[in-house]
Structure 1
């Protein structure tokens, strides 16, 4: 699976989380302001800091957010003496917050995640093996006898792919030159140098050899 897909997935996750958290925090501030104001008005009306059943009724009556009535709590904060303090659960605040945009983004995240899984399953590596040398068409990489990646120059890579794509693993000089140097009139010396440098790499990592038919054709041969 390409890195771009993963980057988009993480971007969607982060964006969805931030939108959800931002909405939660905004609602939390509104809830705390409403509860604090309702408590202040309730204590002012009863002219006492003692919490009773009447305090709770008055407190609920002063709450502006209707959904808080019956869900907001009055607790005692012992850090500042026996001071009443309003409290509301995270679940209640989350339920009150507007999560519609966040839900849309989370839905998009889930769909993109499923797409990434489908894409990953679809990209099953196609592997060709010959003479101990393995070629992965998906990654466009060659691997040697011990599973190590064979490092090739772009031109060496292209030539090796041509050898592997050929059913007989045999290529004529003309086929190679036309594919690698289409604008060059005579690429004989360039081809000779390419083959000379490629031979030891192939022999080091596999049981293969590149043989020549008097310079007219080259064959990737299993020894």
Structure 2
């Protein structure tokens, strides 16, 4: 599984869950207002209250169809001006004893109550699945990444002093891990020395490898070494020295 696949599946579950959850929450608010509106209308028709009494509230609450609203809702006589509290019923106007009165009903319920009233089983299931999928994907991709790291072969490196040679890339590096640039012939000569366990190679072996069937190979080798020494010494604490019919690597003595 690719990371992009995990992300697409996660958001394909998360977005519908949030969208449905919000819509169902908004629908629950509308149903609450409808319920207090119908309960208020029935109360006014039945009582025509000139003031709000306990008896008036009992009639109003008995007409509510949503049980959670019966504990928190209340009635209030008001003016015909719009309410500053937006979450309330319509204003009902009626005339009693020659006087026109206005009354509103307020659900007075918390967001948690509205959420509890709303239908959240499907959004909740989708949200749970998306979270579980996200956790599974993170664990799976992390394990896959670790497995790839473990499976990746470690590139062998040969070091001598503060000079290092990467067998896989065939390049030399100084102490700061910066590449040291050699000519092709210089690079071949340095490889021969670094790959030997005792870091020493005989002159005949070097000549046969670098200049096969060349008569003046020793002179070419001498010229090669003379030009190579300052490059090696300026980039490391390693020196090329003559050693009993061959050349060898040694470290500088402080």
After TM superposition, the score normalised by the length of structure 2 is 0.48
1:10-159 to 2 correspondences below 5 Å: 12=3, 16-17=6-7, 19-47=9-37, 54=64, 56-57=66-67, 81-82=86-87, 86-87=114-115, 96-97=126-127, 98-99=129-130, 102-115=134-147, 118=150, 123=154, 128-129=159-160, 132-135=161-164, 137=166, 141-144=172-175, 149=178, 151-153=180-182, 155=184, 156-159=186-189
Q: Is the 8 A contact 1:43 1:55 kept in 2?
A: no
Q: Provide the alpha-carbon RMSD of the alignment.
A: 4.8
Q: Is the 8 A contact 2:229 2:239 kept in 1?
A: no
* Residues 1:24 and 1:179: Cα distance change in structure 2 (over 3 Å): farther
| Residues in 2 aligned to 1:193 and 1:163: alpha-carbon distance in whole angstroms | 17
Q: Is the 8 A contact 2:239 2:249 kept in 1?
A: yes
Matched, 1:167 2:197: yes
Q: Unpaired runs of 5+ in structure 1?
A: 1-7, 60-77
Number of residue pairs the alignment of both structures matches: 182
Deviations 1:113-168 (A, max 9, x none): 43256468x84975533xx3432657864335xx5646123634443232122123
| Residues in 2 aligned to 1:219 and 1:105: alpha-carbon distance in whole angstroms | 55
Q: Which has the larger radius of gyration?
A: 2
| Residues in 1 aligned to 2:5 and 2:195: alpha-carbon distance in whole angstroms | 45
After TM superposition, the score normalised by the length of structure 1 is 0.53
Q: Is the 8 A contact 2:10 2:134 kept in 1?
A: yes
- Shift of residue 111, structure 1, vs aligned partner: 0.9
Q: Unpaired runs of 5+ in structure 2?
A: 41-60, 70-82, 89-106
